[in-house]
Structure formats: structure tokens, C-alpha cells
Amino acid sequence: MEQSCSAVPLNSSVAANFSFKMAEVRPRLITPPALRAGDTVGIIAPASGFNRERFLAGCERLRQMGYQPFYLDSIFARDLYFAGSVERRARELEEMFERDDVRAVLCARGGYGCNYLLERVDVAKIARHPKIFVGASDVTTLLTWFLDAAGLVTFHGPMVEKSFASRDGVDLASWSAATASSEPWQITGEMEPLVRGVSEGILYGGCLSLLVESLGTPYEIRTGGTILFVEDVNAKPYQVDRMLIHLKLAGKLNDVRGIIFGEMLDCRQSADQPYTLQEVVTRVVGDLGIPVAYGLRSGHVTRANITLPLGVRAKLMVEETARLDTLEPAVSVRTDAYDSSFATHD
């Protein structure tokens, strides 16, 4: 089903009347300072525990890229399935943002547990010490909250124990463009067109199941005026359908300007199912009058995790092919001296 996009809010609905309108008012956007070779990157474990061997392999990869990975000894703590107590995880996150020597904060992995931090972390501290913050999966909870509550541009992308530990786990072009460049950039050749159209909006989103779980809480996602990126892993097609319908009935798709689906890794009922996930999602969102694309490789992926800056203005063009352009930089230019003794290398 092909439609054009007017990028005009849809007609009001009963669901829209129940939306929390104040939630769509965003604070002033904060772009964190750009990342450079030689910088110290702090690593945190805000959710589940992780594999130590893969974690150390990811740290080595960061060194090879020219960065200096830093983490607290307590990161290896365990409490049930968490990376230590909620107090430890909250304290670690705040400390990494407050440390002057740390230029970016990367997550070891997702899993489960970031929701415990919502009432523990002082988001005002995050806003006072803006830094590049990168994660995916369960970390979606923090990515959207930091953007919605503090106005901080956050980054949906590779994590240390996952993508950085894999040989071809990080898309280096998007990593560099998102975290180090003061110029807008584009992603092409990664997406399949589902519904045609052109629109502009604020790039936003993350793991679909985490976005849905925010509904009805004080940390509910703010989707108005966005190009919504959604991805997930191991969700059956009917479960993806149900989550999208949930967002639709909650009014969260009413003023979305475009939708981009991720790779949707292993999101199938069976190997011989007589339909595609593309058909499933098109039936749910194909009537919204907005462009829809599928297959952007960020989050749960098979290879080369793409880094997406959440909070920046972007343009989605879906015709015979699909393309996503960022319309503004995700980071601010740094004025401190550049140390050329460090060089990024593979």
C-alpha cells in the first residue's frame, strides 16, 4: 500500500483525548560535546550482568579505535540477574556523567533493569553534565527519558559486550558521523520502502517493547512530531502487531511523522510462516498517511550496528528506495585542544 505523506497531524480521535498533552512539550535540546580519539569513555552496566570475556574484548576494540575505556570495579557485581544493586547502578551512572575526565558514557549491555533507575537517578545532574550516551535494548528506557526530561540528545547504537566485542559489530561510518561530526549526514541503502512519502520530524524511539511499557507511567514516551524508530528481537509477528496497536490506541501514533522499523531480528512465528513481518506492520500502520521504511540496522542486529542520534531533526524519504537524512548535528564542537598523538585505527 503506497501513500503520500503530508506531515500534518491526523484528525483527533478518542485516543488522542486521553493523551497527556504536557508530555509533548520538550525541553530545550542539549547536544553533548563531540567525541575525539584519545578521549576517555566511561562504561556502565545499568541493567543486566554481562559476559566478562566479551566485555573485555569490547574494551579492547575501543582501544583499537583510539579511545580509553574506563569502568568501575563494581561493574562486575551481581544481584540476581542485575549488574549489582539498583543503588550501585544508579550511583555508577551519575558518577560517569559527573566525572570531568569521561567524555562519553557507553553501556555494557541491556537485558533488564533500567526501569529501576528512573526514580533513583537525578536527571538534573545529567542535564548539567551533557555527554554522549549510547545504548539500546533495555537502555531505551534511559535514552528516551534523558531526551524527554532533560532535552539531551542520546544515541541508539552499539554496546560494549555486544557490538564492540564482535569483529563486524559496529558501523564505523555512522558512529563517527553521529558522535564526532558537526555536519548533518545520511543513511542510504539500509531500508526497504513500505509506504511512500517524505516527511520531517524529530528522530526518536528504540526497542518497541520498552516503548510500549512506558505507557501509563510518568516516563511515558513523547512521540508527537517524531520520526519514530522501532526495533525488537525474538518477538513473534502477532506480538509486534499487538504492541503497534497498543501505541495506536494510546494515541502515540497520531502525530508521528514517519516510522522506521529496525532489522527486527528473529521476529517470526516459524520458518515456514505464510506471511512476512513487513506485511503485518504495513497492515497496522499503513493507513496513517506517513512514510514507512523497514530494515534500519540499529539495536538488535546481525552485524554493523548503526548509531542513531535521538532528538535531532531528520528527514525520511521513502520512494523506490528509502533514505534518512539528519538535518542538524547531534554533537557540539569542542573548544579544548586536540591531542593528535591518538589516531583512530582498525
Q: How confident is the model at residue 94 (pLDDT cuts 50, 70, 90)?
A: very high
Q: Is residue 115 part of a domain?
A: yes
Find the domain containing 249 and state its range. Answer: 14-26+185-326
* Residue 33 cell numbers, joined: 560535546
Examine the pLDDT at 4 and tell me if it is beyond 80. Answer: no
Q: Are residues 280 and 209 in the same domain?
A: yes
Catalytic residue among 94, 220, 231, 263: 231
Q: Is residue 163 part of a domain?
A: yes
Q: Are residues 56 and 163 in the same domain?
A: yes
Q: 173-205: string of b/e by CB count within 10 Å (b at 16+)?
A: ebbebbbbbeebbebeebbebbbbbbbbbbbbb
The CATH number for 136's domain is 3.40.50.10740
Residue that wins the pLDDT comparison between 33 and 343: 33
Question: For residues 208 and 137, is the Cβ–Cβ distance under 8 A?
Answer: no
For this structure, is 214 an active site residue?
Answer: no
What whole-number distance in Å separates Cα of residue 297 and Cα of residue 283?
Answer: 22
Q: Are residues 141 and 223 in the same domain?
A: no
pLDDT tens string 42-84: 999 999 999 999 999 999 999 999 999 999 999 999 999 999 9
The CATH number for 266's domain is 3.50.30.60
The pLDDT, as a whole number, for residue 6 is 30
Examine the pLDDT at 23 and tell me if it is beyond 70. Answer: no
Q: State the chain's mean pLDDT as an integer.
A: 90
The pTM of this model reads 0.90
Q: Is residue 2 part of a domain?
A: no
For this structure, is 137 an active site residue?
Answer: yes
Q: Are residues 206 and 138 in the same domain?
A: no
Q: How confident is the model at residue 334 (pLDDT cuts 50, 70, 90)?
A: confident
Q: Is residue 166 part of a domain?
A: yes
For this structure, is 231 an active site residue?
Answer: yes
Q: Provide mean pLDDT across the span 7-30.
A: 48
Question: For residues 177 and 195, is the Cβ–Cβ distance under 8 A?
Answer: no
The pLDDT, as a whole number, for residue 187 is 86
Q: Is residue 343 part of a domain?
A: no
Instruction: Please count the structural domains in the chain.
Output: 2
The pLDDT, as a whole number, for residue 145 is 98
Q: Are residues 95 and 162 in the same domain?
A: yes
Q: Are residues 94 and 189 in the same domain?
A: no
φ/ψ bin of 264: left (φ > 0), alpha (ψ from -120 to 50), beta (otherwise)? left
**Rg, the chain, Cα only:** 19
Report strand pairing: 186-188 vs 322-326: antiparallel
Question: For residues 52 and 78, is the Cβ–Cβ distance under 8 A?
Answer: no
Question: For residues 49 and 138, is the Cβ–Cβ distance under 8 A?
Answer: no
Q: Are residues 153 and 219 in the same domain?
A: no
Catalytic residue among 19, 48, 137, 209: 137
Q: Are residues 203 and 320 in the same domain?
A: yes
Q: Are residues 205 and 149 in the same domain?
A: no
Q: Are residues 247 and 280 in the same domain?
A: yes
The pLDDT, as a whole number, for residue 86 is 98
Element (H, E) at 144: helix 140-145
Q: Are residues 163 and 272 in the same domain?
A: no
Q: Is residue 334 part of a domain?
A: no
* Share in percent of the chain as helix, strand, coil (round to 5): 30, 25, 50
Examine the pLDDT at 344 and tell me if it is beyond 90. Answer: no
Question: For residues 266 and 229, is the Cβ–Cβ distance under 8 A?
Answer: no
Percentage of residues of the chain with pLDDT beyond 90? 85
Q: Is residue 176 part of a domain?
A: no
Q: Is residue 290 part of a domain?
A: yes
What whole-number distance in Å separates Cα of residue 133 and Cα of residue 57?
Answer: 20
pLDDT tens string 169-210: 999 999 999 999 988 899 876 799 999 999 999 999 999 999
